[in-house]
């Protein structure tokens, strides 16, 4: 590797060599963070664009839009990336959202004795969406002595593990109510479609019924994470997806919303315990919330002894916060005992003050 010629480090110290799997918007952000980190080495990447023949063997800078060469070539397949990696230990995985969609790729990583940090939303607590696959991944991870973790900003942090951690200072937890109000304006056509932005209210409702309007992926996962931390088991979870109908014209580079049309999706969920609501999560996502004076932010209210309110303002930005959370978990995952784990299982997760800010911010 042009950027780091040191030998493979000892397991518990020295920089950790990382392979990126997926070079989309998230992979690009992760690449920058890994490159800026003296404790990590970007040792390879797997890109669908190389596999599909859309790019030859190129420096990942070309695919990830970085402003200078990294010396790391993108590969078409995992075995190819592993062979070039000089002893990678962790795969940062960012190719999909659903357990069934990503489990094969995660198994391939384990077969190469690699640990995995994935931002697939359902993997934050995969026993909800696919308990059999989750158990299978856990067994395979243990048999290879490797670790799998699903994480990200949400699920993985703001509406689950942060809430769980806040309760350490609370004597008795009665009710959790949390809301993430964000701005979808930076996102592209895929997000506009899955959130129903620009549709008429009727089209939106039809989209929800038919599964085209998805809303947020991760509420059941977040709720089970919180409940597990607090020592209880939810009896059921209800979800609803309602259109956020704009009363004004809202426009982004990717979508135009006329008054009376849908500016976004208000996805909310209620988790029940002993016949009463115990966790309420609310995630209204829309373009240009400021057009109607809507304040964005993350709002957490815990009722109990004592009751407390916490908030951010504006919201923790979804893209970079997801990439950062994943990159920050690389070292804990590399050093952890084996198995399919969750964010509850690691010594206090944290960031780094050791990264070079130029690499992180520019490019």
Binding site for a copy of itself (CB under 8 A): 29, 32-33, 36, 39, 153, 157-158, 161-162, 164-174, 227, 229-232, 273, 278, 304-306, 308-313, 316-317, 320-321, 323-325, 327-329, 343-357, 360-361
Residue 34 CB, shortest distance to a copy of itself, in Å, is 10
**Closer residue to a copy of itself, CB minimum distance, 104 or 347:** 347
Contact 166, 310 (CB under 8 A): yes
**Closer residue to a copy of itself, CB minimum distance, 51 or 228:** 228
Q: Which strands, in side-by-side order, build the sheet including 90-93?
A: 74-75, 40-46, 16-21, 90-93, 115-118, 147-150, 339-341
What's the N-to-C CA distance of the chain in angstroms? 21
**Which phi and psi angles does 307 have, rounded to 5°?**
-85, 140
**Nearest Cα to 335, choosing from 344, 324, 346, 326?**
346
CA–CA distance from 209 to each of 50, 109, 121, 155 (Å)? Answer: 36, 36, 21, 23
**Closer residue to a copy of itself, CB minimum distance, 246 or 322:** 322
Count of residues making up the chain? 363
**Closer residue to a copy of itself, CB minimum distance, 116 or 326:** 326
Structure tokens at 217: 């992926």
**Closer residue to a copy of itself, CB minimum distance, 199 or 279:** 279
Exposure pattern of 286-316 as b/e (b: 16+ CB <10 Å)? bbbbebeeeebebbbbbeeeeeeeeeeeebb
- CA-to-CA distance for 291 and 285, rounded, in angstroms? 14
**Closer residue to a copy of itself, CB minimum distance, 1 or 166:** 166
Structure tokens at 294: 């809507």
Residue 92 CB, shortest distance to a copy of itself, in Å, is 13
Residue 184 CB, shortest distance to a copy of itself, in Å, is 17
- CA-to-CA distance for 138 and 337, rounded, in angstroms? 12
**Closer residue to a copy of itself, CB minimum distance, 132 or 358:** 358
């Amino acid at each position: 590797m042009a950027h780091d010629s040191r030998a493979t480090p000892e397991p518990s110290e020295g920089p950790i060599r990382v392979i990126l799997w997926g070079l989309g918007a998230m992979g690009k952000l992760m690449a920058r963070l890994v490159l800026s980190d003296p404790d990590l080495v970007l040792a390879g990447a797997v890109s669908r664009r190389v596999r599909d023949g859309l790019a030859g063997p190129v420096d990942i800078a070309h695919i990830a839009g970085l402003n200078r060469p990294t010396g790391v070539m993108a590969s078409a397949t995992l075995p190819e990336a592993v062979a070039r990696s000089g002893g990678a230990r962790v795969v940062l995985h960012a190719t999909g959202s659903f357990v069934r969609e990503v489990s094969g790729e995660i198994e391939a990583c384990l077969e190469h004795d690699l640990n995995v940090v994935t931002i697939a939303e359902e993997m934050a607590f995969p026993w909800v969406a696919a308990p059999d696959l989750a158990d299978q991944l856990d067994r395979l991870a243990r048999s290879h002595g490797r670790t799998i973790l699903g994480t990200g900003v949400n699920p993985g942090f703001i509406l689950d593990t942060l809430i769980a951690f806040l309760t350490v200072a609370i004597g008795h937890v009665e009710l959790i109510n949390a809301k993430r109000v964000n701005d979808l304006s930076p996102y592209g056509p895929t997000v506009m479609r899955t959130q129903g932005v620009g549709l008429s209210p009727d089209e939106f409702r039809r989209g929800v019924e038919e599964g085209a309007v998805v809303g947020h992926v991760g509420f059941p996962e977040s709720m089970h994470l919180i409940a597990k931390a607090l020592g209880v088991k939810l009896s059921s979870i209800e979800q609803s997806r309602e259109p956020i109908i704009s009363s004004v014209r809202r426009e982004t580079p990717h979508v135009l919303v006329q008054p009376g049309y849908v500016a976004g999706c208000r996805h909310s969920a209620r988790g029940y315990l002993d016949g009463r609501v115990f966790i309420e999560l609310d995630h209204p996502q829309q373009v240009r919330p400021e057009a109607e004076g809507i304040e964005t932010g993350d709002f957490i209210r815990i009722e109990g002894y004592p009751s407390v309110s916490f908030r951010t303002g504006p919201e923790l930005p979804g893209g970079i916060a997801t990439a950062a959370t994943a990159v920050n978990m690389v070292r804990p995952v590399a050093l952890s005992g084996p198995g399919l784990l969750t964010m509850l299982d690691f010594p206090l997760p944290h960031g780094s003050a050791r990264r070079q800010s130029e690499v992180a911010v520019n490019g």
